[in-house]
Structure 1
Amino acid sequence: MMKKTLLLYSTVEGQTLTIMEKIAEHLTAQSPEISYDLYNIEEALPINLDDYETILIGGSIRYGHFRKPLIQFIQQNTQLLNSKKTAFFCVCVTARKVGKDTPEGSLYVRKLFQKVQWQPNLKGVFAGALYYPKYGWFDRTMIRLIMRLGGEKNHDIKQNYSYTNWNKVDEFAKQFYLLVIS
């Protein structure tokens, strides 16, 4: 019997989608019995949420906030989310620092779950990436300033920086797989 899994993401530059795709690869590598659908939560969803046994939502932080469509989706679907097996992960550059890389240590995750009534079975926090060459002048300047305030002194704005700990993503993917098959 196929177990249907829904993977939803909200991303600014694409790192959340990249992480979600890595988790999806892990699912299919573990079991051909698992089928999944992957959608951007910020677009109209052509599906019925009731059709899925397990739902994973991933969202990124930009300038200290999750994107509004992510929060709205969670608030509009709280009852359904709480009736299913669910998981959540946050992607933010601050998670590159030990202590801020857990759901308990992430101010953003703590604030989100104080604001919404959803309680996922599994939560994760992953460090994101910076894509300076893609940014306009304002974003490049602001992000570089924020990074300097956080202790990063020599960011070359001609380079990309990935802080994602892929071993941590793999561990989360294993835990999510166990949730899917439970």
Structure 2
Amino acid sequence: MTDAAHRLLWTIIALLLVASGAAALAVSFGVLPGGDPGAVLLGAGLLDRWRLAAPWSTLAAAVAGVLVALSGQRLLDRELRRPGRALRGTLSHPGRRPGRTRLAAEVLAHALERDLTGNPGVRRAQVMLTGAPPRPDVWIRVDMTADAGAAGVREHVHAAVRRFATTADCQPAHLDVTARIEPGRP
């Protein structure tokens, strides 16, 4: 999932939570038409059924709470984790003559990192290759110095990715670049 998709997912979740909170607040203040601020939100019949199923209703609520908490923890864990399915092993390309060219994925990632840090505005770079070998997904994180020009670093990253694609003979299916500016004098 790309960063844009993550932001969209969390924006939708946040809007749903805000809308439900606003609706509950509107009901409690009696702002909604036909709503009575002094009325009980849960009716007497529902409360009687809850009390009739006394031990099981509490257990069901506890199980539902645990399931919601676990699904939230799993979602949060997946959002905070680095991209999965790292490309391991070799990229293999058939040659024009009999034989194959094999390139280690780790070596390619380190070579791209070295190329990216060749710009004086780039302090550090991390590269991760994921996906299928002929068209891998390329994930790049670049730490820029405070005085680096964003346009110059952007052009340098695109040129480095073009050189990578030419050297490895594989076009990235997806390119995700995250740039961070290190604190310092602007």
TM (norm. structure 1) is 0.29
Higher normalized contact order (CA 8 Å, seq sep 6+, divided by chain length): 1
Max radius of gyration: which structure? 2
Normalized per residue, the structure richer in helix is 2
Normalized per residue, the structure richer in strand is 1
TM (norm. structure 2) is 0.29
